[in-house]
């Protein structure tokens, strides 16, 4: 992407109501947040499940390769399809298909720790066991400790603290061999 193209993109984003734009193309990653971002973030916290995350898939390449199975499972975690059939061109980017996902069992607000002063339950690089608490999802003043149904190493936290999450939204990527 050239500088001119990025400038054009910023102009376009400023005219839109988008809060955030992310794209990834090979080694190239771009993330732009507009002036609406902070405002919407605060509103999003206050209205939790009423507002799903701003859809960005219509214009941006999804950051995570679409590897989730089509049928949603009620369980909090799901296995990704085996990576054996993954196309070869994925090898130059981060191969996320070998990771397992921890998904949100409910609509609510995602919290990484039990209170702002406390350290997060799980951060990148942490080893978690089966039944480890990894986060809290709050809905209507009910605070739900979400336990992992898998063991492994946290490789990515997919949601920021105090953000609204949807049912089945991916919260963490876990490397089962980590």
Partner 1 sequence: MQNRNTLFIGKVLLNYASLESTNASALELLSKSNPSEGTVISAYEQTIGRGQIGSSWESEAGKNLTLSLILYPKFIPVRHQFILNQAIALGVRDTVAAFVDSEVTVKWPNDIYIRGHKTAGILIQNQLLGSNLQACVVGIGLNVNQKIFSPALSNPTSLLLNVTSTLLDLGSVQEELFIQLEQRYLQLRGGQEAKIQGEYLQYMYRYGTLADYERADGTRFRGTIAGLTETGKLLVRHEHGTEAFEIKGIKFLA
Give the nearest distance from C-beta 80 to partner 1 in angstroms.
Answer: 18
* Least distance in angstroms from the C-beta of 158 to partner 1: 18
Of residues 52, 119, 155, the one with CA closest to residue 133: 119
Q: HSE (CB half, 13 Å, CA atoms) of 41?
A: 14
Name the minimum Å distance from CB 82 to partner 1.
23
Q: Map residue 140 onto helix, strand or coil.
A: coil
Instruction: Name the token pair of 9.
Output: 């993109």
Q: For residues 139 and 90, what is the distance between their CA atoms, to the nearest angstrom?
A: 38
Q: Which of residues 92-111 bind partner 1 (CB under 8 A)?
A: 105-107, 111
Give the Cα separation of 142 and 20 in Å (integer).
Answer: 29
Q: What is the contact mask toward partner 1 in residues 109 to 138, using x (rule: CB under 8 A)?
A: --x--xxx----------------x--x-x
Identity of the residue, 88 or 142, whose beta carbon is nearer to partner 1 in the bound complex? 142
Nearer to partner 1, 136 or 173 (CB): 136
Residues 83, 172, 133, 138, CA torsion sign: negative
Task: Please tell me whether residue 170 binds partner 1 under the rule CB under 8 A.
Answer: no
Binding residues for partner 1, rule: CB under 8 A, are 42-43, 45-50, 74-76, 105-107, 111, 114-116, 133, 136, 138-147, 149, 167
């Amino acid at each position: 992407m050239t500088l001119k193209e990025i400038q054009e993109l910023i102009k376009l984003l400023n005219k839109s109501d988008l809060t955030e734009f992310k794209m990834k193309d090979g080694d190239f990653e771009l993330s732009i947040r507009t002036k609406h971002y902070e405002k919407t973030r605060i509103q999003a916290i206050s209205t939790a499940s009423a507002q799903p995350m701003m859809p960005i898939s219509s214009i941006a390449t999804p950051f995570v390769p679409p590897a989730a199975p089509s049928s949603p499972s009620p369980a909090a975690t799901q296995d990704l399809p085996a990576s054996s059939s993954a196309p070869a061109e994925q090898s130059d980017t981060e191969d996320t298909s070998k990771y397992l996902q921890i998904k949100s069992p409910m609509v609510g607000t995602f919290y990484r720790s039990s209170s702002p002063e406390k350290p997060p339950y799980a951060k990148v690089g942490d080893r978690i066991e089966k039944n480890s608490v990894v986060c809290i999802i709050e809905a209507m003043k009910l605070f739900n400790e979400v336990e992992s149904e898998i063991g492994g190493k946290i490789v990515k936290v997919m949601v920021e603290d105090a953000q609204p999450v949807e049912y089945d939204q991916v919260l963490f990527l876990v490397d089962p061999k980590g």
